[in-house]
Structure formats: structure tokens, C-alpha cells
């Protein structure tokens, strides 16, 4: 196993805003990392570009909505890969256009699986290699009005769990860390402003779990999601109905 204390290089896909940028910033000031690259598809907010420059985070354009993106994506030279890309919109399943369905599947699931496959030799190899993937609490519960997003995240969740078993059975120590967030107000996921400072604690939790070699972390588990998962396990039907009513109110507001 390679020396995990040597200077490391990280690349964060979906790292130019929100939780991904918060993680990139924390890695950039981590004494173990000498290079951090943050990748994003959309035009980067000037304030985020300034933050990235101050933290010496390199910015790179990567469009994971394009299924051929992985062909030119090079992970050589990196020993930490973090996938934070994802999006979803609250709407009835019948109102989701076909092109949006494809993009939801590509960004939330297929691009991640492409990246994991790209990193397969590193994951199975003898050197210390970190891979982190952000999924969603929606992958673990019924999620009406979020059906396509939840299905894509469930695909990713199942894929990660299965790949980890394969890696473990082959003797590899390089397991994938699955990060499962729920609703985080400080992100722009639902269209609100991103508050990077408020995401710092989450970023630290994720990086700490990565360094420990954990397989899964559910953000805000004790505070919120232990109860959510317990309610779902006890009565999935009622949970789904309550979730539907809650989201309908969000859509109206």
C-alpha cells in the first residue's frame, strides 16, 4: 500500500459550486494535498472563481451531461477523486421531458459509474486511492415528485455497494465512500443562493470519513435522518403520502 501521508492530488467533479466547492476548498488548505482541481459544467460564478483562486483551487470545464465526457477525462496523477455532480427538480413524473430524463440519469448515475470504471485499476491497485461519491437520502426512501432523480440516485447507491463488495473480496483496501445528504439549505439545489461558509462543516465531515476509510456517511443522521429512515421503514405508504404533501407545498411556495 502506498504511503497515505505523502502529498496528494485531488480532482472534484461538480466542484465549482455548492458542496463540491466547499470540499475542494477544505482539501486545498489540508496539509496533505498539494494540488486540487475542481471541475464544473456551467458558467462559474465570479465570486466562486475568486474563492477558488484564493484557495489555489484549479478550475476546469467538464460536461458530465455528455456521455462521451469520460473518453478524454484523465485521472492519472490523481489519488483522490470526488464526484459531487447532481441535479433534480420537483415535478410530477408525467411532466418530466424526455431529454431531462436522460440528463437526470446521466449526471446522477451514469457519469458516476463511468468514472468509477475509469478508476477501476486505481481502486483495485496496491496504492492508497480515495474515491468519494455523493448520492442522496432519496436513494433510500420513496420520493414522489422526485421519481426520476431518486431512481437515478438509487442506481448509483446500489452500484457503489456492489462495487465495494467486489473490491473487498478481491483484497483491495480502496473502497468507495458513499456520502448521503438530505436537504441542505445552504446549497443552490432548490434554486436558492449557495452559502459556501455554511457548508464547511459538511465538507470537513466528508473529508474526515474519507481519510478514515469509511464506506458510508449519512449527513445529519442523528439530527434528522435516523428518524426519517425509521418512519419510512415502519410505514412506507404513509411516509410516501406525507412526502408527497410536503413537496407539493414546496412547489407552491
Q: What is the pLDDT of residues 31-70, one digit of tens each?
A: 899 999 999 986 666 666 676 676 788 889 999 999 999 9
Identify the pLDDT of residue 222. Answer: 96
Q: How far apart are CA 210 and CA 13, in angstroms?
A: 16
Q: What is the CATH number of the domain that holds 59?
A: 3.40.50.720
Task: Determine the structural domain holding residue 86 and report its residue range.
Answer: 8-252
Domain count, the chain: 1
**pLDDT at residue 160 tops 90:** yes
Is residue 197, in this structure, part of any structural domain at all? yes
Asked whether residue 1 is domain-assigned, the answer is: no
Residue 187 within a domain: yes
Per residue in 229-239, pLDDT (tens digit) is 999 999 999 99
Global pTM value: 0.92
Cα separation, 36 vs 59, in Å, equals 9
Q: What is the pLDDT of residue 42?
A: 67
116, part of any domain: yes
* pLDDT at 125 exceeding the cut of 70: yes
Residue 3 included in any domain: no
Distances (CA, A) of 171 to 117, 121, 124, 176: 18, 13, 8, 14
Classify residue 68: in a domain, yes or no: yes
Closest CA to 132 of 69, 208, 81: 81
Helix 18-28 to helix 200-212 angle (10° resolution) is: 60
Question: Please, which residues bridge with residue 37 across strands?
Answer: 11, 58
Domain assignment of residue 2, yes or no: no
pLDDT-based confidence at residue 123 (cuts at 50, 70, 90):
very high
The answer, yes or no, to whether residue 108 has pLDDT greater than 80, is yes
Amino acid at each position: 500500500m502506498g504511503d497515505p501521508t505523502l502529498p496528494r492530488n485531488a480532482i472534484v467533479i461538480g466542484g465549482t459550486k455548492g458542496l463540491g466547492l466547499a470540499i475542494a476548498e477544505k482539501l486545498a488548505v489540508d496539509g496533505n494535498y498539494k494540488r486540487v482541481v475542481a471541475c464544473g459544467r456551467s458558467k462559474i460564478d465570479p465570486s466562486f472563481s475568486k474563492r477558488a483562486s484564493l484557495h489555489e483551487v484549479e478550475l476546469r470545464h467538464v460536461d458530465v451531461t455528455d456521455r462521451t465526457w469520460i473518453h478524454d477525462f484523465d485521472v492519472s496523477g490523481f489519488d483522490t477523486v470526488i464526484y459531487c455532480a447532481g441535479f433534480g427538480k420537483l415535478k410530477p413524473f408525467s411532466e418530466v421531458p424526455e431529454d431531462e430524463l436522460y440528463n437526470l440519469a446521466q449526471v446522477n448515475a451514469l457519469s458516476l459509474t463511468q468514472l468509477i470504471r475509469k478508476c477501476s485499476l486505481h481502486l483495485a491497485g496496491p496504492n492508497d486511492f480515495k474515491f468519494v461519491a455523493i448520492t442522496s437520502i432519496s436513494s433510500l426512501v420513496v420520493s414522489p415528485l422526485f421519481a426520476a432523480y431518486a431512481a437515478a440516485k438509487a442506481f448509483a447507491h446500489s452500484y457503489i455497494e456492489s462495487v465495494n463488495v467486489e473490491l473487498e473480496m478481491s483484497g483491495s483496501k480502496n473502497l468507495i465512500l458513499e456520502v448521503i445528504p438530505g436537504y441542505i439549505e445552504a446549497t443552490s439545489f432548490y434554486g436558492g443562493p449557495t452559502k459556501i461558509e455554511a457548508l464547511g462543516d459538511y465538507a470537513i465531515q466528508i473529508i474526515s470519513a474519507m481519510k478514515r476509510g469509511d464506506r458510508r456517511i449519512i449527513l445529519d443522521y442523528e439530527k434528522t435522518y435516523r428518524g426519517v429512515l425509521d418512519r419510512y421503514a415502519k410505514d412506507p405508504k404513509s411516509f410516501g403520502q406525507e412526502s408527497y404533501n410536503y413537496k407539493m407545498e414546496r412547489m407552491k411556495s
